[in-house]
């Protein structure tokens, strides 16, 4: 699901590239990585580092 800053970025991008000139997947992923960085190199590493240190709701949000 796309939300928050990523949703705003995606909305701006799709407004800039209307459906008549569809952005290729490789261009989309390139722009995505340029904007947010390569945050999903190994999702298991991030999951293994996750620890509950505050409220359960906060932990749940971080887990998601």
The string of pLDDT tens digits covering residues 22-33 is 778 888 888 888
pLDDT digits (tens, 9 = 90+) for 32-62: 888 888 766 677 787 888 888 888 888 888 8
* 12: confidence class by pLDDT, cuts 50, 70, 90: confident
pLDDT (0 to 100) of residue 40: 60
pLDDT at 54: 85
Q: What residues does each domain of the chain span?
A: 4-63
Q: Which of these, 6, 4, 1, 31, lies nearest to 17 by C-alpha position? A: 31
């Amino acid at each position: 699901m796309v939300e928050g800053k990523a949703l705003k970025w995606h909305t701006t991008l799709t407004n800039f590239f209307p459906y008549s000139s569809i952005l290729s997947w490789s261009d989309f992923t390139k722009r995505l990585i340029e904007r947010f960085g390569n945050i999903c190199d190994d999702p298991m590493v991030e999951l293994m580092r996750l620890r509950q240190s505050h409220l359960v709701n906060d932990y749940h949000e971080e887990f998601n």
